[in-house]
Amino acid sequence: MRKITYYVAISLDGFIAGPDGDISGFVQQGEGVNQYLQDLQAFDTVIMGRKTYEFGYAYGLQPGSS
């Protein structure tokens, strides 16, 4: 059986970003970010919501890129 890793982030109001998609409150660096990026490299399948997927496109990410 394959291992499932579940990452989730949400604020008390049910949203991650602030008004107009503001992400200034996101942690940009540190051990947690480094571990997350390292974990992503090991995944062969990622499932995410449509808005998260579209958010990545706004920052230049493409399917299959690492």
User: Does 5 fall in a domain?
Assistant: no
**For residues 33 and 30, what is the distance between their CA atoms, to the nearest angstrom?**
5
19-24 own/partner pairs: CB under 8 Å, 24+ apart: 21/55, 21/58
User: Does 62 fall in a domain?
Assistant: yes
pTM of the model: 0.57
- Sign of the CA dihedral 64, 38, 54, 62? negative
- Domain range for 50 is 28-66
Task: Write out pLDDT tens, residues 5-61.
Answer: 888 877 778 777 788 878 887 878 899 889 888 888 888 888 888 887 887 787 777
**Residue for token digits 């998609």?**
21
Number of domains in the chain: 1
